Structures are given as C-alpha cells and as structure tokens.
Amino acid sequence: MTHLPVAEPTDVRRAAAGLVRADRRPFAVVLGLNALAALAGLAGPWLLGRIVDEVRGGGGVDAVDRMALAILLCSLAQLLLARWARYVGHRFGERTLARVRERYVDRALALPASVVERAGTGDLTTRGTADVTAVGTTLRDAGPELLVNAVQALFLIGAVFVLDPLLGLVGVLGLTPAWVVLRWYLRRARAAYLAEGAANSGVAESLAATVSGARTVEAFGLAERRVETNRAALEVSRRTRFRTLFLRSVFFPAVDVSYVLPVAGVLLLGGVLHAHGSASLGAVVSCAVYLQQLAGPLDEVLMRVEQLQAGAASFARVEGLAGAPRAAADGSAVPADDRIDVSGVRYAYDRGGEVLRGVDLTVRPGERLAVVGPSGAGKTTLSRLLAGVDAPTEGSVTVGGVPVVALGPERLRRQVVLVTQEHHVFLGTVRDNLLIAEPAATDDALWAALAAVGAEGWVRELPGGLGAELGAKEHAHATDGSQAQQLALARVVLADPHTLILDEATALLDPTTARHTEQALAAVLKGRTVIAIAHRLHTAHDADRVAVMEGGLLTELGTHDELVAAGGAYAALWGSWHGEPSAGY
C-alpha cells in the first residue's frame, strides 16, 4: 500500500494563512472585538486596587460605590464584547471549514484511480471524515477561543508591567515552568498525533477490506486471519492513542501547578516592597488579581494549543492531498485517430516483481481483440494500462499518438472505458447516476441509453422514474447485480467512447443475470473497438484477433483459426477447453 502524503508544517501554515486571507475582514473584526473585550476586562482589577487605596486613605462610601458600579459596567461590556467576538469567530470558522471541505473533495476527485487504489479507501475516507471534522472543530472552536484568551492573557501581563515592572517580571518568571513543559509537549505532539491519525486510517482500511471481501473471507475460511489482522490494526491504534494520552497527562498537571507560582511570587515580593514603601497595597492587590485572572485565559490557551496540535496534524493530513499526484488535465493534445499502440511496455507493482516484461501490440480502430492466457499472465494489468488507470513503468501506451495517461478525464472517457464485473450505484436518483457520464444529457438521451441496455422497463416502473432514489436508505430502490450493471453500461452509452475494454464483465454473475448483461453488452459494443480480457475461450473464438499472454509476455497474436492451426499455446488452451467445456481461463 502506498500512503497518501502528509503536508509539512510550512505548507500547513501557508494553507492556514490563505484561509485567513480569504475571509480577512471578519477575522480582523474578531481580533478587534477580542482586544476591546480584553481592555474592558482590565478595568476590574485596577479599580479594585483603587478601592483598596481609597479605603486605606479614608475615602467615603460614595467613591467606593462609583468604582464598584464601574467594575460592574466594565464586566458587562467585557461579557457582551466577548460573546460578540465568539459569534463572529464561529461564523468565520464555519465558512472556512466549508472551504476546507470543498477543496478536499476537489482534490480527492482529481486523484488518479491508481493512487486511490494503492493508498486504500480507508485512508482517504478517514481524512475526509475524522480529520476534516477535527479541522472544523479547530477552526470553529479552538481558533476563536485561542484568539480571545491569547489577547486577554497578553493584556493582563501588560497591565501588571504597567502597575509595577518588577512585579510584572516576577509574574512572567513564575510562568517559566509552564513554558518549559509546553516546549517539551510541542516537540512531541505533532509526530504523535500524525501517528494516531495514520493508525486510525489503518483500522478503517482493515475493516473496509474485511467487509468488502466478506464472501471471499467466508469461502476460504479466512475469518480468524482477518480477525487477527484487525486486532493488530486496533493494537497499533491503541498504542498511538495511549502515546497522545501520556503527553496530555504530563502536560496539563504540570501547567496547572505553574499557575500558582506567579501569584505567590507577586504576593511575597509585593509584601516586601509595600513594607519598604516602594509599592502601594492597591497596586500589589491589583497585580495579584491580574495574575490570578491570568490563570483562566492562559489555561484556555494551553488547552487550545493541545487541541491545535491535534487539529494541525489533521490539517496536515487533509492538506497532504495537495501533494498527491493528480489526474491529467484536459490539455490541447487531441488523438489523431482511435488506433491504440502498446510499445515496449513493462510494468511492476510497488511490492512484487515485474508483471509485464516488454509488450508490443497494436489495436486497429473497430477491431475486436481477445486477450487470453493463464491466471497471472498480466491480462488485467494490461487492461488497466490500456484504460489509463496505471502508467507503464517503461514504454508507452498511446491512442492516436497521444499517451493514454496524458489524456484528462473528460477526453479519456470519450476514448477508452474499462468495464469490469464490479459496478457502483451512487446514492441519489437514477438521473444522478447517469448524468455522471454526460452532465449535459437530456432526459430523452437518458431514456435512450437505458433502452439500449434493456433497463428502460424496470426504471419506468420505479416511483418517479428517472427521479427515483437508489441505494440502501429508506424509501430508496435497492438495485440487484443485473440492474447495477445495466446502469453502468448505460453510463458507457452516454459517454460514447470509441474503445471498450472488457475485463470479463459477466464472470461473477449467475447464468440468468449474465445472459441479460451479455444482451445489454451486445447493444453497447456496436461500432466500437473492443478489447476483451477473455477468461472463457468462446469470447476469443468470436474475436477478430486473439492475443496470448504468458508470464507477462505477448507470445502469440492472430486470428482464432491461425492460432489453432499453429499448434502453439493457444491451440493447447483451445483443445483443453473444447474437450472440457467446464474449464475456464
């Protein structure tokens, strides 16, 4: 499996700055409101110190009442400004999250099919769900709260320095242990949270593979092996989660203890300074209250820093798709014709030996070519290269002189389409499922495509016809295997490619469904170039030419009669199959 990339910290910071620039005015409003709220909060402790000094100086009740009323009004102003700042900040976060989601979907859809297959859908799904959700929580909650409390903390520390620089210095030095613990935590947090995210992707991929291959697991008695595989993935996830839990269990208690030190230091030094007449009692009380209040926003800041580390790790995984390979864009290169040329093609998967070892082949427009050979000969790999799903390790696969992998998705689907026995019905209406192939198609064109593959009848019987919902949800129509394949073939009709590559589209179907599908295929194949990966030799018998593959090499090429007469590998396969009709290849 090839893992999808993870963005570097500099890339994450650049992406975050870009999101802020995209909504800079609300962001500036959030900062301004937070600053005003912090200023309003500074008045309370300062006025409290004034009250102490006023009482010690023999001031009257009226002065105390006036300052108490001022404290009340400033507290109310702080509350209203802070609530307004959070409201604006949350709206900013939701808009930003929408941009992150949209960009993630665009990037995911731009990934080549080969990248998705090698990375595994579990990783892609986890990034698009858990990681995007974590980024959203960070943007909506952690970001605004971090701004609010960071501004308040800075203003509180500044206020202490204004009242008495020496007491301010003592207060800042008292926060040194918290700074040391924070540095210790930050050096370890990113790697730990990235490892936790990767482990979660591993669990999702393992479970998805088990569920999607449930029939195979049952048929081959692999249940215990799959259970062990899933347990191993869960154990890795547990260890990574315990690692982040350990970091938090050290970080938070150490920080909590650190809050007491600045207040204690200011009270001790303030008492000495007051005894020597260097500081008023009101100033000492105000500084102590400021530093006591600092515990609240500073605690929030540090908690949000912890959340920010998890969010940043998730953001790095989400933003990592920017560094993944992208499907070719639809450029100016236009195939001169529909001829397909395979020249000196070699291909090897990431883990394993060479599958194709120098294949040369030309497929003429309108030709029906059957590719046969034993299991493992490289037939399916060749079909993926012909369809542009994978790129050859060496050599080239071109259509009309243009490399297939250089064609963008829109142009590629007009040239070559790979049809397998696996078809997907998307959640949505029948119309939605068909418009994927041709967004501009009219309803008349959709009905014509359905009629061509024999699906018009059952679709018209659905409540709503083209507007009928498909899928497993309530009140939706659950399609069977035959209907799913008919929808897939209707999409092929709408895409109208010149070349169809069939990787035994009916091999896994029951006989009745296979007959229906073959009838639909016959309508789709008219007038097109057809390359059939043949596991049953009757397909080869009806083809214009037959290509025989063995051990990753193209060993024979000719008509059925020519190859039978040659007495080679194909003749042996044909003789075996003709003598034992149950055999398949």
pLDDT value of residue 584: 41
pLDDT value of residue 157: 79
Exposure string (b/e) for 382-396, b if CB count within 10 Å is 16 or more?
A: bbbbbbbbbbbeebb
Helical (H) or strand (E) element with 412: helix 409-415
The separation between CA 167 and the C-alpha centre of its own chain, rounded to angstroms, equals 50
* Long-range residue pairs from 25-31, CB within 8 A, at least 24 positions apart, any chain: 26/88, 26/91, 26/92, 26/95, 27/92, 29/88, 30/85, 30/88, 30/89, 30/92, 30/144, 30/147, 31/147, 31/151
Q: Rounded to an integer, what distance in angstroms lies between the CA atom of residue 284 and that of residue 273?
A: 9
What are φ and ψ of residue 407, in 5° steps?
-80, 135
What is the dihedral angle through the alpha carbons of 228, 232, 235, 240, rounded to the nearest 10 degrees? -160
SS3 192: helix
Return the biggest CA–CA distance within the chain.
123
User: Checking DSSP bridges between strand 469-470 and strand 402-403, what pairing results, if any?
Assistant: unpaired
Q: Rounded to an integer, what distance in angstroms lies between the CA atom of residue 487 and that of residue 431?
A: 10
- The CA angle 206-211-214, to the nearest 5 degrees, is 120
pLDDT value of residue 432: 92
pLDDT value of residue 581: 43
Q: Rounded to an integer, what distance in angstroms lies between the CA atom of residue 226 and that of residue 211?
A: 10
DSSP 131: I
Q: What is the pLDDT of residues 479-498, one digit of tens each?
A: 887 788 888 888 888 888 88
For the record, the structure tokens of 475 come out as 């009140």
Write the CA distances from 388 to 145, 211, 475, 536, 545, integer angstroms: 48, 28, 38, 25, 22
pLDDT value of residue 475: 78
SS3 402: strand
* Long-range residue pairs from 373-376, CB within 8 A, at least 24 positions apart, any chain: 373/548, 373/549, 373/550, 373/585, 374/550, 374/585, 375/585
User: Checking DSSP bridges between strand 529-533 and strand 368-372, what pairing results, if any?
Assistant: parallel
Fold category of 9-323 in CATH: ABC transporter transmembrane region fold (1.20.1560)
pLDDT value of residue 240: 92
Q: Rounded to an integer, what distance in angstroms lies between the CA atom of residue 170 and that of residue 175?
A: 9
SS3 398: strand
**Is residue 521 a contact partner of residue 489, using CB atoms and an 8 Å limit?**
yes
Helix runs in 129-277, H state only: 132-137, 143-163, 165-174, 176-212, 214-219, 223-258, 260-275
pLDDT value of residue 480: 80
SS3 395: strand
Residue 224 CB: number of other CB atoms within 10 A? 9
Only one residue has tokens 């990113």, namely 190
Only one residue has tokens 């064609």, namely 407
**CATH superfamily of the 340-579 domain:** P-loop containing nucleotide triphosphate hydrolases (3.40.50.300)
Q: Rounded to an integer, what distance in angstroms lies between the CA atom of residue 468 and that of residue 483?
A: 14
pLDDT value of residue 517: 59
What strands, in cross-sheet order, belong to the sheet with 545-550? 416-419, 499-503, 529-533, 368-372, 545-550, 553-558
**Is residue 182 a contact partner of residue 305, using CB atoms and an 8 Å limit?**
yes
Domain ranges of the chain: 9-323, 340-579
Q: Read off the amino acid at residue 408.
A: G
DSSP 220: T
Helical (H) or strand (E) element with 466: none
Determine the angle formed by the axes of helices 281-319 and 176-212, rounding to 10 degrees.
Answer: 30
SS3 110: coil
DSSP 423: -
Q: Quote the mean pLDDT of the chain.
A: 81
Q: What is the pLDDT of residues 548-565, one digit of tens each?
A: 999 889 999 999 889 988
Write the CA distances from 423 to 180, 420, 482, 485, integer angstroms: 56, 7, 10, 6
Mean pLDDT, consecutive 10-residue stretches, the chain (585 aa), reads 78 86 85 78 70 67 77 84 83 85 85 73 80 79 70 76 81 80 84 86 83 78 87 92 88 76 80 78 77 74 74 85 72 78 87 83 90 86 87 89 82 81 82 90 91 86 90 79 83 87 64 60 78 78 88 90 89 74 41
